Amino acid sequence: MERYFGENTPKLGFGLMRLPKLPNGKIDVEQTKVMVDMFMDAGLTYFDTAYVYDGGESEKAAKEALVDRYPRESYTLCTKLCAWMGARNADEAKQQFYTSLKRTGAGYFDYYLLHALQRSNYKVYDEYHIWDFVKEQKEKGLIRYYGFSFHADPELLEELLNDHPDVDFVQLQINYADWENPGVASRKCWEIARKHGKSITIMEPVKGGALADPVPEVQKILKEADPKASMASWAIRYAASLDGIITVLSGMSNIEQMKDNLSYMKDFKPLDEAEQKVIRRAQAALNKDRSIPCTACHYCTDGCPMNIPIPEIFHVMNHQRGNEAFRGVREYTIATEGRGKASDCIACGQCVNACPQQIDVIAGLKDCAALFED
């Protein structure tokens, strides 16, 4: 018998946000099929996509690589409705659900989320009556479990769970770098969700890849503790070791990442006390890190009027800060070729409102322009 909803679900979920790409920028469906097969062969079953991922191509890839190739009862599929992106009114927002059903061909969704709720957008879901709409789909059997993914402060999470006590689960950003980060508040949000008896799916356990290649001091700490373990393994096992977790989503982008994740999550073992102490040392080291906490979700770029590749620019800045010998100007030139430069920012604030990490994007771009542009 489960102590909490989802206790017996395998603790690694396949996030379909960062799928492998072909040289033309399209999703590499054939490589995705291989990764899906590896995942399923390992006895893992949870797949996560969203209406807005890759402009809808992620849901289509889910159909080709998963839905069309496996019996429907052999896996579980989650997708999301984003009322604040790609929808100008309630009808367009609700249409996302039906479009997702068509794109995936799944027939129904095992899990369904209101996407990326934060201070700047959560009221749209009320204005468009999306909460009621999703519950209606659950009553029809088109959704089995519903909840919301969350990128805001603990006070808002408390408010939402008080207002919507019937949600089945929540999706939170939890990783060891953000555990005490006031901008993300992983620990406080996890505690509030558990206080309300809600199970949790975890997103960004590797913080958009940052914890797969952390700053040198953190790498040294983790390598000394276990020379054979990958950097990502520490982050994913940390998240999966928490109480109340349904699964931990990993946005794997190639077969090598899939192999690594399966090597320690196929037969998952929670971190022991000695390993938890290693993580605490890594957290202390990260407190000194000056990296821009961008996870490359690209929510900031979808509405940028100047077509500035913000995540790519911040990636160059982070590498420059971590390595003075890094040829940042050259990499910056490549990242901005044919697109807007950091100095082109008109400070409209669209990016700041969209950023789940609460980054002061405008200030960050000014710093990048000063460092990389003449």
| CATH at residue 109 | 3.20.20.100
Strand boundaries in the chain, DSSP class E: 12-15, 46-48, 76-81, 109-117, 143-150, 169-173, 199-203, 245-250
Taking 70 as the threshold, does the pLDDT of residue 5 lie above it? Answer: yes
Q: Of 252, 286, 320, which one is at a domain's C-terminal end?
A: 286
Q: Are residues 248 and 316 in the same domain?
A: no
The Cα–Cα gap between 351 and 349 comes to 5
In a domain, 115, yes or no: yes
Location of structure tokens 């899906």: 36
**pLDDT band (50, 70, 90) for residue 198:** very high
The Cα–Cα gap between 19 and 53 comes to 10
The total number of structural domains that make up the chain? 2
CB atoms inside a 10 Å sphere around CB 302:
14
In a domain, 24, yes or no: yes
The Cα–Cα gap between 207 and 212 comes to 8
Q: Are residues 29 and 143 in the same domain?
A: yes
Taking 70 as the threshold, does the pLDDT of residue 286 lie above it? Answer: yes
Name the 3-class secondary structure at 154.
helix
Percentage, residues of the chain above pLDDT 90: 77
Q: Are residues 107 and 198 in the same domain?
A: yes
Taking 90 as the threshold, does the pLDDT of residue 182 lie above it? Answer: no
Taking 60 as the threshold, does the pLDDT of residue 157 lie above it? Answer: yes
Q: Are residues 231 and 268 in the same domain?
A: yes
Distance of CA 50 to the CA centre of its chain: 11
Residues 6+ apart with CB under 8 A from 365: 308, 310, 313, 342, 343, 345
Taking 70 as the threshold, does the pLDDT of residue 369 lie above it? Answer: yes
Q: Are residues 142 and 213 in the same domain?
A: yes
One-letter amino acid at 222 equals L
Across the range 111-126, mean pLDDT stands at: 96
- Phi and psi based region of residue 311 (left: phi greater than 0; alpha: psi -120 to 50; beta: remaining): alpha
From 47-51, 140-144, 232-236, 285-289, the region with the lowest mean pLDDT: 285-289
Q: Are residues 200 and 330 in the same domain?
A: no
Location of structure tokens 């934060």: 118
Q: What is the pTM for the complete model shown?
A: 0.85
In a domain, 5, yes or no: no
Name the 3-class secondary structure at 119.
coil
Across the range 169-198, mean pLDDT stands at: 95
The Cα–Cα gap between 279 and 256 comes to 24
The Cα–Cα gap between 360 and 349 comes to 9
In a domain, 304, yes or no: no
Location of structure tokens 């909460």: 131
Distances (CA, A) of 82 to 6, 47, 190, 299: 24, 18, 22, 11
**pLDDT band (50, 70, 90) for residue 322:** low
Q: Are residues 179 and 32 in the same domain?
A: yes
Location of structure tokens 């996890």: 190
- In terms of residue numbers, what domain contains 226? 12-286
Residues 6+ apart with CB under 8 A from 156: 117, 118, 119, 122, 150
**pLDDT 10s digits, 323-345:** 655 678 888 888 888 899 999 99
Position 374 scores a pLDDT of: 75
In a domain, 305, yes or no: no
Distances (CA, A) of 355 to 182, 242, 264: 15, 26, 32
Q: Are residues 315 and 254 in the same domain?
A: no
In a domain, 291, yes or no: no
Across the range 307-331, mean pLDDT stands at: 79
Q: Are residues 97 and 214 in the same domain?
A: yes
The Cα–Cα gap between 121 and 89 comes to 13
Taking 60 as the threshold, does the pLDDT of residue 85 lie above it? Answer: yes
**pLDDT band (50, 70, 90) for residue 208:** confident
Taking 90 as the threshold, does the pLDDT of residue 183 lie above it? Answer: no
Q: What is the mean pLDDT of the chain?
A: 94
Q: Are residues 281 and 200 in the same domain?
A: yes
Across the range 284-310, mean pLDDT stands at: 86
Position 324 scores a pLDDT of: 59
Q: Are residues 179 and 255 in the same domain?
A: yes
Q: Of 219, 252, 286, which one is at a domain's C-terminal end?
A: 286
Q: Of 253, 286, 319, which one is at a domain's C-terminal end?
A: 286
In a domain, 294, yes or no: no
In a domain, 7, yes or no: no
Across the range 303-315, mean pLDDT stands at: 89
Q: Are residues 176 and 244 in the same domain?
A: yes
Location of structure tokens 């052999």: 74
Burial class (CB in 10 A: 0-12, 13-18, 19+), 43: exposed
Asked if residues 312 and 341 have their Cβ atoms less than 8 Å apart, the reply is no
